[in-house]
Amino acid sequence: MYSVTQEEYEKHRGALFRHFLPDEPGTSRDGYNGNRRGEKSAAQELIETKRKSVQSYFTRFFRERKGETNDHFDLKRVKYDDLGIPQDTGGLNRLRFKGENLGIVPTQLNHIPPWLYRHFEYAHYVALQFNQHQKFQKLQKLRKLQKELPIAERATEIVELLKTNQVLIVAGDTGCGKSTQVPQYLLKAGYTGVACTQPRRIACTALARRVAFETLNQYGSEVAFQIRFETTKSQRTKLLFLTEGLLLRQMEKDSLLEKYNVIILDEVHERHLTSDLLIGLLRDLCSKREDLKLILMSATINLDLFKGYFEGAPVVQVPGRLFPIDVRWHPIKQFIDQSEKKTHKIDPEPYLRILELIDKQFPSTQRGDALIFLNGVAEISMVAEHLKNYAEQTKGWIILMLHSTLSVEEQDKVFDQSPTGVRKCILSTNVAETSVTIDGIRFVIDSGKVNLIKHEPGTGTQKLTEFWVSKASANQRKGRAGRTGPGICYRLYSQEQFEKMEDFTQSEINRVSLQEMSLKMISLNLGLDPRTFPFIEKPSEDVLNEGLEILKFQRVLRSDRDLLTLTALGNMVSKLPVEVPIAKMLVYGCVVDEIEVMLTVAAGLSVQSPFTNRSYRELEIVERRASLTSPMGDPFTLIAVFREWVLQKAYEGSARRWTMENGIDEHRLYEISKLRSQYRQILEDAGLVEKASAAETGEDDSRQRRIDQGEKRKLYDLKRSQRNNDRRQKVLNANKHFDKILEDKEEEDLEAEKDPLKADVKTVEFLLSHKQRDVETIRKSHKISRRTAEVVRVIIAAGLYPNFSILDPVNKYGYGQEMFAHTRLKPFAQIHPNSSIAQYHPESIDPRQSSEGFSQLHQVPFYGLLLETTKPYICNVMPVPAVYALLVAQKIVIEDWTELIVDDFLELKFRKSEDCRSIILDVKEIRYELTKGLASKLVGEEGFSSRRLTKYIDLLNQSIVDKGIELSVKRNVHPPKVLTGIGIHSPDGGIDKEEDVDDLVQRFEKNDVTTHDDRDEEDQKVLDELRSDVMCPPTRDMVEDAEKLEKKKKEVPKESYYEKLLKRQKAKEDKGDDKDMKKPKLEPIDVKEE
């Protein structure tokens, strides 16, 4: 019998603990954890757990066995039989592992009785073994869960089928495990190069993380994801989750997708535009690549469609797994005030009643959260406000919101846990239907409504309208209640209504405009024609043709050929992963050497507005940020905001505070800065901008390189530790609802910002990618002079074209006034009240016209998007002087030198005929320079200098401002849908078709154009001289001469500029006929007149 008293143990305890379980190096004793954001290192945590378990072992030993035992804890004394079974007691027999110096008491612990030492050693190993045991159980549990998934039974079948078939369809409903398991089966079967597409970025990252965890490769890179900005891919990656759009983009470079052996298209039943296109393309690819395997994974709802499209492909159908869900119908009266002009406001009362019902029927001790599906942000805010009052009274609920315009931090809050006794109630749009899965939902409250964006053919409008959901999505919503346990779905509509609903939600291809998709198809260079492509579901021919027309309007598709061919510009545009207008801006930005600013504008237009939704309602913030806004419109506001942020970030170190004070979502700015560098990369690859040299980036400096390396290492560590931290679920504060949830975080951030050592991942990343030099570039380039501003305006307009509008003549320009603008196809669109113009600078677009409508100040607003919600709105508005429309328009008809009709839509009437002539002259000059610059950029010609173009634009602006050219603006109420007769039409019926970019490009490529060697001699003075000539009212002959000269410039390009200039001056002096060496400019051309 061995024994030890508690006193004896207590006496030696400290020394033993210090010996066996010392603190992690770097952890200070006083309990202060100096780590970033105060968290303990995982190793230290493990040590503390072990200490606790040793301590509790001894506590139990004293309590249950009174400190007595027969175990001698001495391995040396144990006898074993022939099987190795011990014939003697001694606790160590039950331990799987042993220390090296087992039982040998180290000298510094000589004062401790050897038996106690050995006993403590035993307890310590028990703790180690317990840790092993826990990890093993975790693994066991994981494998058990996997085995229990409905799809697990079919694992071998799936792998076998894939051996003999090229295409396989796996159909299974929510919870069957297809997305996580099927890729793993492939990995186990030895496939490498597996790509799995997802419609959403968030699904890519989440699935990659989950599958990596399940394959025990959580910290390796065998399973990786790739989304727009981020990838975890490495050479060792065998399975890659990526977005559909990204796979499509990869097809552009590698049309056979040779790096993949298996392609899995997941969630094809959602019928997104890209997935529809991919299905078609990959079906085609299968016939080209016999070794490629294709797996389609879909829900069971519209399985027949896919079966029919892939004839003969085997189908593996798996039941879903959901807990039983009780459906309760609570129909409410729909649309109480439908007759009123104001939109039908949602009545929050029924939602409140359901919450009350839940409180009544289920004790708060039973866990389970609620999820409310509503159609839009406005409805969510309204109901949330109402429910918050209730929640504040009862203290039983935390009200949260989830929709895509929230900041990422706010969105993440829905995943946090509510404290015991309190339920969370999440009000969500349909993002929670498929994209976002929240655990622990027991109650679903379904309004039955959804807001869908629908392209309205014929007007170019994106219309956001409220619809009844389809049966498929109503059931999907219901299913959200049964993921973790039995649930209840409250439907706020009647069963009859449910019966009336459509079976499926209309697929995207039937709902949206098809121009971007058409462009993508054509740019794949596979000779595809969207009009004849065998889509899984044929899109409407009208919508398709309209899309093609728009592409022609945007000059990315050649309008003069039947076969769909991209223009040189279109070719470049399709290489940039952005919408056409933004791509065009970038390309033109390169032409005029304003790439820094254009990168910001383009990036800014590709992401959501950096101003938070909420900030528009807070008067203080709205006033504070007034100085950032620009009367030149939203793009310029964006430039100012970005500049200020970069400076705050780089020099002040108080960007977080600044963004909060100005109601700005910093994430959007990070996105912009990332997009900027991505776009720059693309432009560099395309040869449009030059790569920064090593000397410029500091890469030739070994010291700098070392610093960078260190920083990169730090960033990598930070990212990793953050990723690991993210896994911990946080608990919500019961008193903080949707409007207050970020308070703690904000305070913490502000606190952290004071200490540069606590910089978060994003800041480090930002500082690493923005060196002093880059920040200085932004600081300088984004402070826009008047002169640059004009150029930038023209470039943005060129990108946005044909999206321009005409202000309504009866508008009142004041704060809070509704201002209407007529677009070509949609009259009476309103300037969005949140735009810089409407909110801060309405007076700046007031033409203050005379009674006949003449004014020097007429402007036409260009816009990024025409979106119809309750009303048609134009967003991202940028007004420019009306004359600028002439610079980008395709068709200008000159009527007797006072009136110009632009694109059969905008009518400009000049008070004086000479103004009109001079303007036309300037305009032609600029247009030609722009075309030429574009062409030389597109073929990579070095010779073009933007100085002249900049100068011309400046002069045009000056002449508008200084000379005070007065004109009136009218609109053609019924402009034709399709524009015919492109070119500049003179009053005498001649049409100046202008130089086509493509012809120029071709000519450049044939090397017809030789060096522009004497460009450098160009002198500002010469230019000024030239322009001063033009200032005298030119006669028609003069205009023609100028045109001829222009033409000649193109045709006899060897002629130096100076020579041309001389000739031109001579021509003017002669006032007449030196047509000897020029071809007639105005030849009758076979252009279709309307």
Partner 1 sequence: MSEQQPSTSSEKEKISDEPITNQEQLIDPFIDFECHICRMKERSLFGELKVVDGSYDSPVYFIRDPFKPPSKDRIKKPCLDDFLVLGAPCSACNQPVCMSDACSLFFGTNFCAPCVSRERRRFPPQLIRGIITKYEAKQSSK
Nearer to partner 1, 86 or 150 (CB): 86
In the complex, the smallest distance separating the C-beta of residue 227 from partner 1, rounded to whole angstroms, is 22
Nearer to partner 1, 90 or 487 (CB): 90
Q: Would you state the structure tokens that stand for residue 1065, as one six-digit string? A: 């001056």
Nearer to partner 1, 101 or 702 (CB): 101
Nearer to partner 1, 82 or 562 (CB): 82
Nearer to partner 1, 139 or 1031 (CB): 139
Q: In this structure, what are the phi and psi dihedrals at residue 871, rounded to the nearest 5 degrees?
A: -135, 160
Nearer to partner 1, 58 or 125 (CB): 125
When binding is defined by CB under 8 A, the residue of 5, 108, 139, 704 that contacts partner 1 is 139
Q: Interface mask (CB under 8 A) for partner 1, residues 98-117, using x and -?
A: xxxxx---------------
Nearer to partner 1, 85 or 619 (CB): 85
- Whole-Å CA distances, 525 to 454, 519, 522, 566, 909: 29, 11, 6, 10, 45
- Residue 133 near partner 1 by CB under 8 A: yes
How far is residue 425's CA from residue 387's CA, in Å, rounded to a whole number?
A: 9
Please work out the total of residues on this chain that contact partner 1, with binding judged by CB under 8 A: 40
Q: How many CA atoms lie within 13 A of 175 on its CB side?
A: 16
Q: How many CA atoms lie within 13 A of 938 on its CB side?
A: 29
Pair 583, 572: CB distance under 8 Å = yes
The region of 149-157, 543-551, 717-725, 857-865 touching partner 1 under the rule CB under 8 A is: 717-725
Paired residues of 298 in beta bridges: 171
Kindly write down the DSSP assignment for every residue of 877-919, as one continuous string: -EEEEGGGHHHH-SEEEEETTTEEEETTTEEEEESSHHHHHHH
Triad 975, 977, 981: Cα angle to 5°: 85
CB atoms within 10 A of CB 290: 7
Nearer to partner 1, 140 or 317 (CB): 140
**Within positions 957 to 986, which residues make up the interface with partner 1, using CB under 8 A?**
none
In the complex, the smallest distance separating the C-beta of residue 152 from partner 1, rounded to whole angstroms, is 13
Nearer to partner 1, 83 or 563 (CB): 83
In the complex, the smallest distance separating the C-beta of residue 710 from partner 1, rounded to whole angstroms, is 14
In the complex, the smallest distance separating the C-beta of residue 408 from partner 1, rounded to whole angstroms, is 23
In the complex, the smallest distance separating the C-beta of residue 136 from partner 1, rounded to whole angstroms, is 5
Nearer to partner 1, 94 or 1054 (CB): 94
Q: Exposed, middle or buried: residue 467 (CB in 10 Å: 0-12, 13-18, 19+)?
A: middle
The region of 128-136, 176-184, 534-542, 622-630 touching partner 1 under the rule CB under 8 A is: 128-136
Triad 857, 862, 866: Cα angle to 5°: 135
Dihedral over alpha carbons 793, 797, 800, 804 (to 10 degrees): 120
Q: Would you state the structure tokens that stand for residue 296, as one six-digit string? A: 């389609």
Q: In this structure, what are the phi and psi dihedrals at residue 860, rounded to the nearest 5 degrees?
A: -120, 125
DSSP assigned state of 313: -
Nearer to partner 1, 80 or 1058 (CB): 80
Tokens 């945590």 appear where? 45
Q: Interface mask (CB under 8 A) for partner 1, residues 812-831, using x and -?
A: --------------------
When binding is defined by CB under 8 A, the residue of 18, 65, 143, 345 that contacts partner 1 is 143
Nearer to partner 1, 218 or 972 (CB): 218
Q: Would you state the structure tokens that stand for residue 282, as one six-digit string? A: 């990959």
The region of 97-105, 334-342, 376-384, 1000-1008 touching partner 1 under the rule CB under 8 A is: 97-105
Q: Interface mask (CB under 8 A) for partner 1, residues 25-44, using x and -?
A: -----------------x--
Pair 400, 426: CB distance under 8 Å = yes
How far is residue 110's CA from residue 922's CA, in Å, rounded to a whole number?
A: 99
In the complex, the smallest distance separating the C-beta of residue 127 from partner 1, rounded to whole angstroms, is 10
Pair 1070, 1088: CB distance under 8 Å = no
The residues, ordered by sequence, that sit 6+ positions from 1077 with a Cβ below 8 Å of its Cβ are: 1048, 1052
In the complex, the smallest distance separating the C-beta of residue 217 from partner 1, rounded to whole angstroms, is 7
Pair 492, 332: CB distance under 8 Å = yes
Q: Interface mask (CB under 8 A) for partner 1, residues 213-232, using x and -?
A: x--xxxx-------------
How far is residue 669's CA from residue 984's CA, in Å, rounded to a whole number?
A: 42
Nearer to partner 1, 52 or 871 (CB): 52
**Within positions 186 to 215, which residues make up the interface with partner 1, using CB under 8 A?**
213
Q: Interface mask (CB under 8 A) for partner 1, residues 56-95, using x and -?
A: -------------------xx-x-xx-xxxx------xxx
In the complex, the smallest distance separating the C-beta of residue 717 from partner 1, rounded to whole angstroms, is 6
Nearer to partner 1, 61 or 553 (CB): 61
When binding is defined by CB under 8 A, the residue of 37, 135, 712, 754 that contacts partner 1 is 135
The region of 63-71, 135-143, 261-269, 270-278 touching partner 1 under the rule CB under 8 A is: 135-143
Triad 908, 910, 912: Cα angle to 5°: 165
When binding is defined by CB under 8 A, the residue of 5, 724, 1035, 1065 that contacts partner 1 is 724
* 124 three-class SS: helix
- Residue 311 near partner 1 by CB under 8 A: no
How far is residue 138's CA from residue 116's CA, in Å, rounded to a whole number?
A: 33
In the complex, the smallest distance separating the C-beta of residue 77 from partner 1, rounded to whole angstroms, is 9
- Residue 125 near partner 1 by CB under 8 A: yes
Which residues of 414-516 form beta strands (DSSP E)? 423-428, 441-446, 449-456, 461-468, 487-491
In the complex, the smallest distance separating the C-beta of residue 129 from partner 1, rounded to whole angstroms, is 9
Nearer to partner 1, 717 or 1059 (CB): 717
**Among the listed residues 187, 931, 1040, 237, the one whose alpha carbon sits nearest the alpha carbon of residue 555:** 931
In the complex, the smallest distance separating the C-beta of residue 132 from partner 1, rounded to whole angstroms, is 6
The region of 129-137, 366-374, 417-425, 622-630 touching partner 1 under the rule CB under 8 A is: 129-137
Nearer to partner 1, 152 or 875 (CB): 152
In the complex, the smallest distance separating the C-beta of residue 85 from partner 1, rounded to whole angstroms, is 5
Nearer to partner 1, 297 or 718 (CB): 718
Paired residues of 910 in beta bridges: 967
In the complex, the smallest distance separating the C-beta of residue 151 from partner 1, rounded to whole angstroms, is 17
Nearer to partner 1, 136 or 828 (CB): 136
The residues, ordered by sequence, that sit 6+ positions from 386 with a Cβ below 8 Å of its Cβ are: 348, 349, 351, 352
When binding is defined by CB under 8 A, the residue of 53, 131, 250, 654 that contacts partner 1 is 131
In the complex, the smallest distance separating the C-beta of residue 138 from partner 1, rounded to whole angstroms, is 6
Tokens 């709105």 appear where? 873
How far is residue 351's CA from residue 357's CA, in Å, rounded to a whole number?
A: 10
Q: Interface mask (CB under 8 A) for partner 1, residues 243-282, using x and -?
A: ----------------------------------------
Residue 911 identity:
R
When binding is defined by CB under 8 A, the residue of 720, 780, 848, 1066 that contacts partner 1 is 720
SS3 track for 645-694:
HHHHHHHHCCHHHHHHHCCECHHHHHHHHHHHHHHHHHHHHCCCCCCCCH
Residues that bind partner 1 (CB under 8 A): 42, 46, 75-76, 78, 80-81, 83-86, 93-102, 125, 128, 131-133, 135-136, 138-140, 143, 213, 216-219, 717, 720, 724
